[in-house]
Structures are given as structure tokens and as C-alpha cells.
Amino acid sequence: MSYRESVIYQIYPRSFADSDGDGIGDLQGIIGKLDYLAELGVDILWLSPIFQSPNADNGYDIADYEAIMPEFGTMADFDALLAGAHQRGLKLILDLVVNHSSDEHRWFQESRRSKTNPYRNYYIWQSPRPDGSPPNNWQSFFSGPAWKLDEQTGEYYLHLFADKQPDLNWEHELLRQEIYQMMRFWLDKGVDGFRMDVIPFLSKEPGFPDYPEGRFGDLTIHANGPRIHEFLQEMHREVLARYTAYDGTPLITIGEGFGVSAGQANLYVGENRRELGMIYHFDHAVPREEYRFLNPAPELTLPELKAIFAGWNKALDTTDNVPDPTGPGWQNVYFGNHDNPRVLSRFGEPDGFHDESGMLLATVLLTQRGTPGIYQGDEIGMSNCPFASVSEFDDIQVKNAYRELVEKGGGSASKFLTVANRIARDHARTPMQWANVPGAGFTTGTSWLKVNPAVAQVNVVAQQQSATSVLSYYQKLLRWRKQTPAMHYGTYRDLLPDHPTLWAFERNLNGVRYVTVANFSGQASVLPPGLAGTAVLGNYNSMTSELQPWEARIMTPN
């Protein structure tokens, strides 16, 4: 099955399933849930990093790209997981984190020894300014300057993320060849592709100029550097073009597109570009720059959200109803992932209409154009966790922001906590809610991160016993989507772009039409004229001319 006809399920291994009671999810835990994932009806499993790491950024700081983190298991466990996935018809892709490594990687340990070390140019080193200050005013995603002085050689190294995540120097050909060899290591094992972390950042601006006036701290400026497409085309030529997924279909490659606009997307994923297969954007992600923890951005209105989806569809759509294999590219569409709070808490209503809004969000996502991505727990309607204090958070971004804004800056600690309980990444990282038992069925020990108390009402075991649960609805919807070509290749048309509470759109493939209509409101709404049709699927048993609160339905138009 092509990735264009598939659905991705993202697993955050640390929080998914713990097999040995140490409070940390692991590979054997995932193996034990493969039947659950197959029965759910997804096709591709994306694992967030499982590699050896000191966990400064929960595995996105890699110390050895070809070793498994001992907390997660062994290489034999990984081999068993890959084999078990393939036996069930599931593909498996890994996180490729090659904008930066850990400062504990042997390359960096060698690089910092001296200016003449053979590994020096694997990283980005610059001399101080005459006054000893950093080479420029670039800022890190995780607070403060993006440069750290290394006393041993008297130069600064670049880290666009944590200071334990030095940026790799993609200008250096030997570094690129090392990366390609590492990719071959995993592809030779049989993995089906990669999700590529902050991939638009690989090429840096020559000369390392200060931010332009008016764009200080605008981290999107680091995307789309002058050699990025050269690097990706080389990667495709040297590695990606030489492999397929285990079933002979095209390799799965997904670029995390921070800083990539809809108008730039086809430069990365147009099939004639020979770069990536899919990209996903940040236009509807929660703004989470450091200052946002005291000054949060307002949530997107529904018309704003619809406009984002319509804009990306327009940029990536074909010119007619026939899929064009040489034409514009493809996207991975999503509502939630490990870097965003729970979608149910953003766009749904977990308190008053938990099941209804959870099913509505599933309906909208799984009838979009593109390859949908489900984040673990969304299929049961997991919501944000009420953290009682900042000390309960684990995320380095929250800790650094609190230090800068509250401890150093004098900002309000209570406001910071209120905002973090809305926008922090840890909401997506609380343990998977398998059962209403101590440890949430995730672990028999003490979990590494707080368990959401909502587990008492929201858990897999309870939902497996109900034919009307969010989980059961996901299963039904996924089965229907799999056998409906219009969902894979049909065009997309927003039917009510300005409506404040209704999202209605049409999918059309060679005259076979489906309309999804969803009421993002706790109030009933009259179905607008022209949207009547025969119901195919919906989250209410009875369907009338009036849409019930948080009702969603898929129809074939009259």
C-alpha cells in the first residue's frame, strides 16, 4: 500500500507501554501492543527517537545513531519489533535527527578537542567577536543565545536547540557521508523510511549574519537555507532512491517543515524534485516561543484553521481529479503530535462533549487530503493533563522558559503555570491511558511523567468494551477510509470557508463525491442549504436536518 493511501500512528516510546516496570516505555512494550495497533487500522508506525541519548531533549539529542537507548531495550528487541510490525502488515519509520546531535556523541567529543581535529568541521564553530561575545545574535529554541563558548579552544559552537544539541555542519562532505551511511544501516535492517526532524534547517546562512531588523528571535529564518535542496537531492540520490518499503512500495520520507510555507512546499515534495515524499507544516501548531509562556497567542478561530488547510491543499493539489504522479507533492496532515498539546483540549470540548468532539476531530482529520497522522492516545480522546506545579513538567523548554521569564525576569509564576497547562509539550507525553488501574496500565512501577487523572474515565480497556466509544469510531472510520479511493486521491474544496462553527468540505475523485460536515460548537446548528445528502458515517446515531452539538457526518451529496 502506498503511503498516499495510508494512515500514520505516532508512538512516543517513553510514554507508550512499559514492559519491565521501570516507569519508562520500551520496545518490548510496543511489541506487546502491535495487535492493538493492527486492529485499530493504521498502516505506518512512526517511532520518536529510540537511539542512545542522555535525554536532554527526550531523545532528540542523539549520542549514538546506531545504538538503542538501554532504557528502551536492545537491538534484538528492535529487530523483533520490526519483524512483528511487518508480519501484521504495518510499516515502521524512524526519526532521523540530523540537524544536531548530542554533545556526548563521539563526533563532538573529538570535534571540541582542538581546532585541527579531523572531526572539527563536523560541527559549526566560530570565533568570538572582538569583545568576546557570540558570533551573532541568533537565539535558541530553548532560551538564550544559540552559541556556547567552549573554553578548551576558545571558540563558540552553534546550537539552535539546547546547548547539549550542537548543530551538525552539513557543509562538510565527510559529515554528510557519515549520515548517509547511518541511514543505510537502518534501511538495510528493513525500516520503511524516516520522519526527518527540522529538516529545513540543515543549510545555514553563509557568513552567519545577525537577524535582520525586525526579525530578532524569528527562528523561521533558519529554514530554507541556500543549499537545503542540494543536500536533500544528494540524500535522495545517495540513499533514498536505492530503497523501498518492505512490501516494495516507495520508501516513506516525511519532512518536519518548520519555516516552510505552502508556496515553498513543492520544492521539498514535488515528485520531480527527487527530495522527500511528504512534508508537514506548522501553520496550525501552537505558537510556543519562550515569551508565549507569559503572553500566549489566541487559539485559531475555525475560519482561520480552515483557511490553513485550504491553502495547503491548493498549493499541493493536482489540477484535475486524476492523480498526477509527476505533479505537485504530498503532505502529512495532523492535528496532534509530541510537540503540541492535546488536540481535544485545543479544538474539542473534553469536559462537556468528550466523545462527540473526539469523534468529530477524527472525522475531519481522516477525510482530509494527504496522509493523516494520529498521535498516540488521540484515538481514545486523551486531553491535556492538569499539572499542579512547574516542578511536575519534564520538558526542557518549560524549565528553561520558567528560569528566564519567572526566576530571572520576575514574571508571574501562577500565570506561567496557567499558560503551560494550555500549551506545553508534556501534555502529549503523559503515559498512554490503557486502563483505570495504578500506572494507567502503562507501567507497574512509578511513571517517569505524571499520569493524567482523566484515565479514570478515558482508557483503552473501557473503550474496547463499548461499540459507541471514540476508539470504536476510529476503527470504523479507518476501515471505511481504507476502501474509499476518493479519500486518498480526491480533490479538496472548502464549502463554507467563512462559517464560524461549521467545517464543510468536499472530496471528489472522478465525480465520486463525499462531503464532510462538522459542527465545532456545543450548540445545535441548522444544516445549510445544499449540504443535504445520504449519510455514510457519523458520530450520532440519528441524523436530521439539524446538526447536534459537536456532530460530524460524512455524506454522499444528493
418 vs 296: CA distance, rounded Å: 10
HSE value, Cβ hemisphere, 13 Å, CA-based, for 141: 23
Task: Could you list the beta-strand ranges (E) of 244-396.
Answer: 252-256, 278-280, 330-334, 371-375
Annotation marks residue 394 as catalytic: no
The stretches of 366-464 forming alpha helices (DSSP H) are: 396-402, 413-423, 460-464
With cell 519509520, the residue in question is 93
Query: In the numeric block, which cell numbers belong to residue 255?
Result: 519532512
Asked if residue 438 lies in contact with residue 431, where contact means CB atoms within 8 angstroms, the answer is no
**Alpha-helical segments (H) within 366-503:** 396-402, 413-423, 460-464, 470-482, 485-489
- 77 catalytic? Reply is no
Amino acid sitting at position 172: H
Please give the angle made by the CA atoms of 138, 280 and 224, to the nearest 5 degrees: 40
Residue 156 grid cell = 563558540
Q: How far apart are CA 235 and CA 122, in angstroms?
A: 17
Helices (H), 192-282: 228-238, 265-269
Give the CA radius of gyration of the chain.
23
Residue keyed to cell 531533549: 57
Three-state DSSP state, 460: helix
Rounded to 5, what percent of the chain is helix, strand, coil? 35, 15, 50
List of residues 6+ apart from 398 with CB closer than 8 A: 293, 390, 420, 424, 425, 426
For residue 307, with 0-12 CB atoms within 10 Å meaning exposed, 13-18 middle and 19 or more buried, which class applies?
middle
Helix axes 228-238, 173-189, angle to 10 degrees: 40
Closest among 282, 543, 492, 293 to 398, alpha carbons compared: 293
* Phi, psi angles (nearest 5°) of residue 276: -120, 160
Distance CA 420, CA 144 (A): 19
What's the CA dihedral at 176, 70, 342, 258 to 10 degrees?
Answer: -10
Q: Quick one: which of 43, 47, 36, 34 has its CA closest to 84?
A: 34
The Cα–Cα gap between 466 and 463 comes to 5
Chain-centroid distance of CA 91 in Å reads 17
Which among 71, 234, 256, 379 is annotated as catalytic? 256
CB atoms within 10 A of CB 468: 11
Give counts: helices (H), strands (E), the chain: 16, 20
Annotated catalytic residue, options 95, 197, 275, 378: 197
- For the annotated catalytic residues, the residue numbers are 197, 256
